[in-house]
Amino acid sequence: MEDSDLGEAQVIVVACHPRNGTAWDISLARSAAPPSYWLEMGNSADGLLADPPEVLRAFIRDGRIIAVPTKRTRRRLLLDQVAQAFEPGRKYPEAAVDEVLKAIFDDHCVLRRYLVDETFMSRNAAGLYWRAGGTVS
């Protein structure tokens, strides 16, 4: 068996309510998988911005964002389109989020910050991101 066939165990942290023991936060303590693994599981930016709404076409060329709208309503509409690349209820390490965002915009850090600031995504102290808003199809 090759070394690349061996997987590492993942540690899951479950935070429970102090009174009734109900689990209210489940997260990976450390990701054992490389960022590309998360994309292989079905989340990518391929075709995400292929046919944007008319109001966003000035900001998108060839499936990539060329500029972020300054008007908040248009920016939120664009961010909603970007958030569609992430599955609701699933947590992603920062590297996996960056890999998706790099595929659609050169300044992926700004795009990630906008997604968090406009509550389309949330993050915890461990650097895990999850989709917190946007249209669900």
* Domain range annotation of the chain: 33-131
- pLDDT tens-digit map of 2-55: 444 444 444 454 555 556 555 555 554 444 445 544 444 445 566 778 888 899
- Distance (Å, rounded) from C-alpha 101 to C-alpha 82? 8
Place of tokens 């249209």: 135
130-133: which pairs have CB atoms within 8 A and are 24 or more residues apart?
A: 130/86, 130/88, 130/89, 130/90, 130/91, 130/92, 131/83, 131/86, 131/87, 131/88, 131/89, 131/90, 133/83
Predicted local confidence at residue 59, as pLDDT? 95
0.75 cut: is pTM over it?
no
Contact 74, 59 (CB under 8 A): yes
Using DSSP's 3-state secondary structure scheme, residue 30 falls into: strand
The pLDDT assigned to 38 comes to 44
- pLDDT value, residue 45: 64
23 vs 97 pLDDT, higher one: 97
25 compared with 121, residue with greater pLDDT: 121
Partners of 64 in the beta sheet?
61
